[in-house]
Structure 1
Amino acid sequence: MSRFIVRKVAVLGAGVMGAQIAAHLVNCKVPVVLFDLPAREGPKNGIVTRAVDNLKKLKPAPLGIPEDAALIEAANYEEHLDRLAGCDLVIEAIAERMDWKLDLYTKIAPHVAPHAIVASNTSGLSITRLGEVLPEALKPRFCGIHFFNPPRYMALVELIPTPDTRAEILDQLEGFVTTALGKSVVRAKDTPNFIANRVGIAGMLATMIEAEKFGLSVDVVDDLTGKKLGRASSGTFRTADVVGLDTMAHVIRTLQDNLGPDRANDPFYPTYATPPVLAALIEQGALGQKTGAGFYKKVGRDILRLDPATRDYVPGGGKADEIVARMLKKAPAERLKLLRESSNPQAQFLWAILRDSFHYCAVHLADIADSARDIDFAMRWGFGMSQGPFELWQQAGWNTVAQWIQEDIAAGKTLSSAPLPSWVTDGAVARMNGVHQPEGSWSAAHARFVQPSTLPVYQRQRFRESVFGAGAEAPLKAGTEVFRNEEIRVWTLDGEVLIASITAKLHLISPAVTEGLLKAVELAEQSYQGLVIWSPDDVFSAGANLEALMPVFMKSGAKGIAPEEKKLQDAMLRIRYAQVPVVAAMRGLALGGGCELAVHCARRVAAMESYVGLVEVGVGLIPGGGGLAYIARRAAEMAAAGGNTAAVGDIQKFLIDGFTNAAMAKVATSAIEARRMGWLLWSDVIVPHKDELLHVALEQAKGLAASGWRPPVAAPFPVAGRNAIATIRAQLANLRDGGLASVHDDHLATRIAEVVCGGDVDAGSLVTEEYLMTLERQRFCALLEHPKTQERIMGMLQTGKPVRN
């Protein structure tokens, strides 16, 4: 297959989805031109310009850094259609109106490059019908591409072919969307609402029906159907508010219009009726979060819920019954049995919605998806479920649950009287007790188990996301183990590069982790090309393990902590000056000691969604693992890069951002922002797809080794000195006196300033990293004796939240 090179993408439509798709493209450094209608007044690109400006205000932020909004090129259909010729991919994302889309396709078709792929970001309209208006030459390069909202954060992208779409076009697009944009792809059939919205919206409607049947309020339903059920924390009704009730109604209408008795035989069709409460809210303009009211309404600091009976807003906060919450903590088989047999209305409700989901997915599998794996992935990636419906069914005991569903169908308890398909209870699935097996996942359409895609792009995902029952290799049991202690595993996949994986909770750095990292460096230097620090979840390291040091502190006070702190600092320097390249593969949280560990590595490979920063002031401490020494060194290096190694004013200029980040515990909310804040360098690599992180990190380590890696030469560097400390202290006094910082905040910030400026020395004095780390250690240990710091530490250990005192 020839390589699909994307030099520029055109996005048609600057609405909510189009603008945010454009934002994610620039996050991933893909040039993009965003089109919309010409404005009736003012500059003709006004619609796009306003949409791009609005991107900077949205939460959660669609852009890695707001300044990147300037990278989005504005255009309109009247003046700039010729720019389409320079685009390799055209994504249409206008309103969900078939007639509008067809009209636009007619206008753009003559201007699309002969090699370009054209894709519609419709959430449920027929891709085949959309493609009918295109010229014959363009039809093979047309398909559906359904991003989920918000595009930056939601993993799922559904790709939908038409009968005319060439197979290699979909393959090329899947490779680009996966590696370049970091998305997880499910290929869907061209059926109404495709997979995720078909199952998800049907599930939300079923939840509303069952909630009314069991007399449950919206807040109780959301508590039951949120994290307690392994789903998105917003539950059901709050999710509807976030999506937009008008948007939800549109998706429901797509089901109604395309699956009615005159369209197709869907035994669940009666459940697609728009709930009266939803219709009433839309009629009064209460469309959810975007209008300030929907199923919920915020009044001051209070969140009120809708009472469907009276249509009034009343105090919310209803929770699941404790007995039901305990049931949900049980293993799947026991959990479902308890829910089914309980007389508690909440438990009966939960069994009902789970049964409805299993029933619906089984009946529709052959029609909407190529395999059960596609449905499970679509619901995990598109609706935030921890496991898909087929996975849960299989975990709970396939044949047992199937029998329960059949009994409920016979008793008239289900939403449809349709029987379970024969493949559920007869043949290979029943015999093997589930749809997911090592040989593949069940395809009802093909009546066999089918393997996941083998496209070349998935060779970059060494531990590709899998489903329960597939027998996927567990990352922390894979490869050849070289060393292990209770909190770290050192291993290799290929015998060329070592991998160090912290196994402690939140990958906190304890003395055992420090010992393991030192051992890993030693082993790598002896026999390997490099070392990669990587763990297979969304935490690189959340910092130092303070709790592990409590026994030492209780016995010996700060004096007992000082040697442990020095061991940690020495380990950071050992990593920095290792004789092989050490690469930090960062994903998710890299806070405090995790940030310090990363910045001392030779290179960082960071997933796009990495959250990096020095946050120690939250527990009343200052960074003590070399983070402040790093800030001072980087300031000197950046000043030197400006051409004057002794320019003290330049050092202070470059120092101030690093000082502020540490003193205010600022956390980068993306790898892009982490680069701007100095935690990543321009030589570091940002990887859009989390499952490609290990592959890229291993290749980086090998590449550095192959290029003749030598560690940096340890050399003294200039610091800003006592005058800079005085300047910072004057600014801190203003914050304290203005009530913007507490006395203890001021105390902590002063200690940080003393370290990053080099202590009581002249401006331009040359110091070493060891000298600065000694300052760090002294002030860190002194703070441990401070009562205000002790209050913050105990508050964090007890509640998990920072204490401001």
Structure 2
Amino acid sequence: MSGPASVKKVCVIGAGTMGAGIAAQVANAGIPVLLLDIVRDPDDRNAVAAGAVAKMLKTDPAPFMSKAAAKLVETGNIEDDLAKIADCDWIVEAIVERLDLKHGLYEKIEAHRRPDAAVSSNTSTIPLGQLIEGRSEGFRSHFLITHFFNPPRYMRLLEIVTGAESDTALVERIADFADRTLGKSVVRAKDTPGFIANRIGTFWIQAALNAAFDLGITVEQADAIAGKPMGVPKTGVFGLVDLVGIDLMPYLQKSLTSTLPADDPYQAIARPAPLIDRMIADGYTGRKGKGGFYRLNRDAGKRKEAIDLSTGDYRPAIKAPSVSGAAGKGDLAALIALPGDAGAYAWAILGATLSYAASLVPEIADDIVGVDTAMKLGYNWKFGPFELIDKIGAAKVAERLAAEGRPVPALLTLAGDRSFYRVENGKRQYLGLDGDYHDVVRPEGVLLLEDIKLSSQPLIKNGSAALWDIGDGVVAFEFTGKMNALDGDVMALIGKAIPLVQEKYKALVVYNEGSNFSAGANLGLALFALNIAAWGEIEKLVAGGQEAYKALKYAPFPVVSAPSGMALGGGCEILLNSDAVQAHAESYIGLVECGVGLIPGWGGCGEMLDRWRQNPALPKGPMPSVAKVFETVSTATVAKSAAEAKEYGFLRPSDGITMNRVRLLSDAKAKALALVEGYAPPAPPEFRLPGAGGKVALELAVEGFQARGLATSYDGVVSGALADVLSGGEKDLIDIVSEADLLALERKAFMQLVRDPRTQARVEQMLVTGKPLRN
């Protein structure tokens, strides 16, 4: 995960939430970073920066992808250590939003930076032209704005703003580094207040809050209408404000009203909110405070409450009726046509926000693609503003605005009866400001299955999986079921894919573009089988999964898996049975079967044993590797990043990590092709396992956990079944245990557990609540 030669070391100045988070993401990418801040304690001059790193190591969700990454952060202070920036290729300023302080810092930076080093500000409120006032020509040409979104590890958007004097080649180097190495999707924004995402996002939130107050609807109703039906995260608007902090709202409002022209539509909707001011004064700043529009009343047994917008008093939260029919499934035309407050509220938000976005191009960005990308990645919208307009129809939006006597943006008039996006000759195109359609161009080296699907059909498919030709003799195997769950159809298609690839292609990549690679076996199907006691069908699925995964492992061509998001249970096991893995950095991998009263049944036990016995960090002999796998699997441990997955053995040291999600398929394809020449399938492993004595030792450890209240009675039963498999069952230390022996032990233990009513209760609870049952 090393970056381009142009950026070998980074300095971040300002160790607040954003600056520290930026430094952590640089370290996550394997790049050394110098983190500096002011001196507050003369006896501990680096306390501010060092304290920020220590805090991040305890924060959840974690800014660091692994504790090892934190070691790449060197801390210091501006007074003693600024000369060290001479070793840095990129200096990121992330101090408070005060122009005088930034100017003072830039003067000091200019005295020490290398002439070829880039300098950028993480500002979101101060124009670039003001930032570089009084600086030398060399400084101005090497300066840009790099606006990260919080938290920097998880938010994929990076807005880059440049000026007329910015060195084009330098900007391209920083953009490329941010893309490939830091994993950011770079959007070029114009030097205007709020840039793209915050300009539109702040307007959207303000419009939604105003409409809720004006229409007298509840916060629950508002979030039900303005959340999922619009493709907005399930928090809705009020839940989102609670999440980011209510105290941020007046700050954003002041920032925009003071910098936007007087005739900007935002000026007309930015208005005082006495309730919000009172909430902030009383410490109700959202989730980071005592609560916000929603709170948990601890005096009432953690009862969820919501604020009454008319009185400002809290009351028990109500479950607002979900938006039904087509309107609730993303049909925005149906949503804004709903009778009563629901339709009025939906249109109050969409009419204002979408027309505002349309009026801002080309002021804030050169084209609509940049605007849509910024809103999807910066605010987690499922669709960008122009994609939302297409769902209603540009002509219909324009017609309704005109009927209400509101201005119709020129871009809507330009579109007329046309859509902003279309597919032509297998290419996705967008409507340009010249009135013509242009191809949506991906960054160099980006390969997406969604693009391939526009111009081709699957080689073969069924209800749960599909096979796609992705070029150069490589085929992609895609899971397509709900949550990419694994079932008999997936296993059947693996069986059909192997001879096809063997006959006509070079390699196979297991990949999809869902939110999660796979959450594992289809539990709903499993519960149905359990309820009708279809034990034969369950055993058939277990045996079929083992057969399919081993067929992939021993196929006469390379198999590379490329996960992103959750790869759990059977999703993890397919990684374990692949020749190599190219994982997105944000992959969450684990064998979680014990949490639902089962054990890994598709070869995960043997594959994990094989990996840990080869780990040079463990002592020799059968017991250390068995104990390590037992500890990881019995506790249903999930790695919270690809880097952490290497520490747990879910990934090999040689497996690749891709920082940018959109580059994952291309990287996986390249890894597969690199394995083709001279490829030979691996030899089946053979094991010497500790036998009955090892099993007793593992069970004693579980009894210790039970005595401390860390494991339940049924945890002991499940762990005992796992211990039997990992120790080799009836085999002794002198016996060789084959891979086939371990698979048979897995099947036997799995089928014993699946018949137990306590396992069935765990499976049902997980399906209904998404949380494990501790029985």
Residue type of the alignment partner of 2:706: R
The match for 1:232 is 233
Identity of aligned residues (%): 33
Q: CA deviation at 1:555?
A: 7.4
Structure 1 distance, partners of 2:507, 2:269, is 58
Separation (CA, whole Å) in 2 of partners of 1:435 and 1:550 = 43
Shift of 1:513: 1.3
Matched, 1:483 2:481: no
State which of 267, 271, 289 in structure 2 corresponds to 1:273: 271
1:533 aligns to 2:492 (yes or no): no
Equivalent residue number for residue 408 of structure 2? 420
Q: Mapping of 1:426-575 within 5 angstroms?
A: 427=414, 429-434=415-420, 440-444=429-433, 452=440, 458-463=443-448, 474-476=451-453, 478-479=455-456, 481-548=458-525, 557-575=534-552
2:24 alignment partner in structure 1: 23
Distance (Å, rounded) in 1 between the aligned partners of 2:577 and 2:250? 52
User: Distance in 1 between the 2:455 and 2:686 partners?
Assistant: 42
Aligned to 1:187: 188
Shift of 1:188: 0.8
1:668 to 612, 615, 639: 639
CA distance in 2, matches of 1:736, 1:292: 36
Match of 1:317 in 2: 317
1:310–1:485 Cα change, 3 Å: closer
Cα distance, 1:552 vs structure 2? 6.6
C-alpha change, 1:715 and 1:591, in structure 2 (3 Å) is closer
Alignment of 1:572-611 (within 5 A): 572-611=549-588
Whole-Å Cα distance in 1 between the matches of residues 483 and 120 of structure 2?
A: 40
CA contact (8 A) 1:10 1:33 kept: yes
What is the aligned partner in structure 2 of residue 693 from structure 1? 664
Residue-by-residue CA offset, 1:725-764 (whole Å, 9 max, x unaligned)? 1111112112234433222211001101111121233336
Residue 746 of structure 1 corresponds to 716
CA distance in 1, matches of 2:283, 2:763: 48
Match of 1:704 in 2: 675
In structure 2, how many angstroms separate the alpha carbons of the residues matched to 1:82 and 1:643? 43
**SS at 2:459's partner residue?**
strand
Provide the C-alpha distance between the structure 2 equivalents of 1:334 and 1:267, rounded to a whole number of angstroms: 24
1:310-351 Cα distance to aligned partner (Å, 9 max, x none): 444x124234344x4446325525424523xx1x22331121
**Structure-1-length-normalised TM-score:** 0.90
User: Compared with structure 1, are the counterparts of its residues 219 and 59 closer, same or farther at alpha carbon in structure 2 (3 Å cutoff)?
Assistant: farther
Distance in 2 between the 1:701 and 1:399 partners? 47
| Aligned mates of 1:642, 1:803 — CA distance in 2 | 35
Give, in angstroms, the shift of residue 553 of structure 1.
Answer: 6.3
Structure 1 position 802 matched with structure 2 position 767: no
Q: What's the counterpart of residue 14 of structure 2?
A: 13
- Work out whether residues 129 and 163 of structure 2, in 8 Å CA contact, stay in contact via their aligned partners in 1: yes
In the alignment, is the contact (CA less than 8 A) between 1:158 and 1:187 conserved in 2?
yes
Between 1:121-130 and 1:292-301, the stretch displaced more is: 292-301
How far apart are the structure 1 equivalents of 2:453 and 2:691? 46
Q: Tell me how far 1:490 sits from its aligned partner.
A: 2.1
- Conserved? CA contact 2:50–2:76, under 8 Å: no
Question: C-alpha displacement at 1:539, in angstroms?
Answer: 2.4
1:713 aligns with 2:677: no
For residues 479 and 718 of structure 1, do their structure 2 counterparts lie closer, same or farther at Cα, with a shift above 3 Å needed?
A: farther
| Alpha-carbon shift at residue 273 of structure 1 (Å) | 3.2
Instruction: Indicate conservation of the 8 Å contact 1:631/1:659, yes or no.
Output: no
Q: In the TM superposition, what whole-angstrom CA distance separates every residue of 1:402-427 from its partner, at most 9, and x where no partner exists? A: 1012112x2xxxxxx5x1133422x4
Hey, what's the Cα distance between the residues in 1 that align with 2:438 and 2:276? 40
Q: Is the 8 A contact 1:613 1:667 kept in 2?
A: yes
Measure, in 1, the Cα distance between the counterparts of 2:330 and 2:82.
57
In the alignment, does 2:365 pair up with 1:369? yes
* TM-superposed deviation, 1:284: 4.3
The code of the aligned residue for 2:111 comes to P
Alignment pair present for 1:82 and 2:80: no
CA contact under 8 A between 1:38 and 1:45: conserved in structure 2? Answer: yes
333 and 553 in structure 1: CA distance in 2 versus 1, 3 angstrom threshold: closer
| TM-score, L = length of structure 2 | 0.93
Counterpart Cα distance in 1 of 2:27 and 2:4: 21
Conserved? CA contact 1:479–1:493, under 8 Å: no
| Correspondence for 1:735 | 705
CA distance in structure 2 between the aligned counterparts of 1:550 and 1:233, rounded to whole angstroms = 27
Q: Give the corresponding residue for 1:335.
A: 334
1:449–1:102 CA distance, 2 compared to 1 (3 A) = farther
How far did 1:431 drift? 4.6
Contact 1:506 1:539 in 2 (8 A): yes
Deviation per residue, 1:629-688 (Å, 9 max, x gap)? 1222223222xx4698xx43xx32233232122112121121111111110111001111
Which has the larger displacement, 14-23 or 286-295?
286-295
Q: 1:643 & 1:357 partners in 2: Cα distance?
A: 58
CA contact 1:4–1:172 (8 Å) conserved in 2: no
User: Which of 378, 386, 391 lines up with 2:374 in the alignment?
Assistant: 378
**How far 1:589 sits from its partner (Å)?**
1.7
Q: Is the 8 Å Cα contact of residues 265 and 356 (structure 2) preserved in structure 1? A: no
What is the aligned residue count? Answer: 767
Shift of 1:42: 2.3
State the superposition RMSD in angstroms: 2.5
Query: Kindly tell me: are residues 560 and 48 of structure 1, through their superposed partners in 2, closer, same or farther at Cα, counting changes over 3 Å?
Result: same
Please say if residues 588 and 609 of structure 1, whose CA atoms lie closer than 8 Å, have aligned partners that are also in contact.
Answer: yes
Report the counterpart of residue 94 of structure 1 in structure 2.
95
CA–CA separation in structure 1 for the residues paired with 2:768 and 2:219: 31
Distance in 1 (CA, whole Å) between partners of 2:308 and 2:527 is: 50
SS at the partner of 1:432?
coil
The one-letter code matched in structure 1 to 2:17 is: V
Aligned AA (1:671) = A
Is contact 2:467–2:475 with CA below 8 Å preserved after alignment?
yes
Q: Within 1, Cα distance between the matches of 2:244 and 2:523? A: 40
**CA shift at 1:720, angstroms?**
2.6
Q: For residue 468 of structure 1, what is the aligned residue in structure 2?
A: none
2:395 to 363, 387, 399: 399
Q: C-alpha displacement at 1:498, in angstroms? A: 2.1
2: CA distance, partners of 1:691 / 1:55: 27
Hey, what does 1:680 align to over in structure 2? 651
Gaps spanning 5+ residues in structure 2: where? Answer: none
Label 1:697 to 1:104 Cα distance change in 2 as closer, same or farther (>3 A): same
CA contact (8 A) 1:615 1:662 kept: yes
| 2:653 corresponds to 1:657 | no
**Counterpart contact for 2:125–2:255, Cα < 8 Å:** yes
AA paired with 1:318? I
CA distance 1:173–1:548, change in 2 (3 Å): same
- Are 1:612 and 1:669, in contact at CA under 8 Å, matched by a contact in 2? yes
- Assess, with a 3 A threshold, how the Cα gap between structure 1 residues 214 and 736 changes in structure 2: closer, same or farther: same
Deviation at 1:147, TM superposition (A): 0.7
Separation in 2, partners of 1:333, 1:33: 48
Tell me which amino acid in the other structure corresponds to 2:278: A
Residue 289 of structure 1 aligns to a residue whose secondary structure is: coil
Name the structure 2 match of 1:630: 607
Aligned residue in 2 for 1:414 = none
Partner SS for 2:585: strand
Tell me, yes or no, if the aligned pair for 1:214 and 1:346 is still in contact at 8 Å. Answer: no
Amino acid at match of 1:683: S
Q: CA deviation at 1:250?
A: 2.0
1:121 shift after superposition: 0.5
CA contact (8 A) 1:371 1:450 kept: no
Counterpart CA distance in 2 for 1:316 and 1:50 is: 39
